[in-house]
A and B are shown apart, each in its own frame.
Chain A
Amino acid sequence: MSTNDWPLWEIFIRGAHGLSHRHVGSLHAPDAEMAIKNARDVYTRRKEGVSIWAIESSAIAASSPEDKGSLYDPADDKVYRHPTFFDIPDEVGAM
Chain B
Amino acid sequence: MYAQMVKSTGTGVKALDEMEPQERAFQERINAGDKIEPKDWMPAGYRKNLIRQIGQHAHSEIVGQLPEGNWITRAPTLERKAILLAKVQDEAGHGLYLYCAAETLGVTRDELTEMLLDGRMKYSSIFNYPTLTWADMGAVGWLVDGAAIMNQVPLQRTSYGPYARAMVRICKEESFHQRQGFDIMMTMAKGTDAQKHMAQDALNRFWGPSLMMFGPSDENSVHSAQSMAWKIKMNSNDELRQKFVDQTVSQAEYLGLTVPDENLKWNEKKGGYDFSQPDWDEFFDVLRGNGPETTERMEARNKAWDDGAWVRDGMMAHAAKKKAMKVAAE
User: Could you mark each residue 39-65 of chain A with 1 if its beta carbon is under 8 Å from any beta carbon of chain B, else 0?
Assistant: 001100100000000000000001011
When the two chains form their complex, are residues A27 and B100 in contact, meaning their CB atoms are under 8 A apart?
yes
When the two chains form their complex, are residues B40 and A65 in contact, meaning their CB atoms are under 8 A apart?
yes
Decide yes or no whether B23 CB sits under 8 A from chain A: no
For the complex of A and B, 8 pairs with smallest distance between CB atoms? A30-B319, A31-B319, A30-B315, A4-B316, A30-B316, A26-B100, A65-B40, A3-B312
When the two chains form their complex, are residues A45 and B93 in contact, meaning their CB atoms are under 8 A apart?
yes
Question: Which DSSP category, helix, strand, loop or mixed, fits chain A's interface?
Answer: loop
Residues of B within 8 A of A5 (CB): 110
Residues of B within 8 A of A8 (CB): 103
When the two chains form their complex, are residues B323 and A31 in contact, meaning their CB atoms are under 8 A apart?
yes
Interface size on A, residues (CB 8 A): 20
> A34 and B100 in contact (CB under 8 A), knowing A2-B110, A62-B39, A65-B40?
no
Decide yes or no whether B90 CB sits under 8 A from chain A: yes
Question: Which DSSP category, helix, strand, loop or mixed, fits chain B's interface?
Answer: helix
Decide yes or no whether A1 CB sits under 8 A from chain B: yes
Classify chain B: how many residues form its interface, as a range. 20 to 34
B residues neighboring A (CB under 8 Å): 37, 39-41, 86, 89-90, 93, 96-97, 100, 103, 109-110, 113-114, 165-166, 169, 312-313, 315-316, 318-319, 322-323
> A28 and B114 in contact (CB under 8 A), knowing A4-B316, A8-B103, A42-B93?
no
Residues of A within 8 A of B109 (CB): 3, 28
Q: How far is the CA of A34 from the CA of B319 in the complex (A)?
A: 9
Sample 14 A-B pairs with CB under 8 A, ordered by A number: A1-B110, A4-B313, A4-B316, A25-B97, A25-B100, A25-B166, A26-B100, A30-B316, A30-B318, A31-B319, A31-B322, A34-B319, A45-B90, A65-B39
When the two chains form their complex, are residues B86 and A27 in contact, meaning their CB atoms are under 8 A apart?
no
> A3 and B110 in contact (CB under 8 A), knowing A31-B323, A65-B40?
yes
When the two chains form their complex, are residues B318 and A65 in contact, meaning their CB atoms are under 8 A apart?
no
Residues of A within 8 A of B100 (CB): 25-27
> A13 CB to closest chain B CB, in angstroms?
12
> A4 and B312 in contact (CB under 8 A), knowing A30-B318, A31-B323, A65-B37?
yes
Cβ-defined partner of A45 (8 Å) among B37, B39, B86, B165: B86
Q: How far is the CA of A75 from the CA of B318 in the complex (A)?
A: 49
> B312 CB to closest chain A CB, in angstroms?
5
Cβ-defined partner of A6 (8 Å) among B37, B40, B41, B316: B316
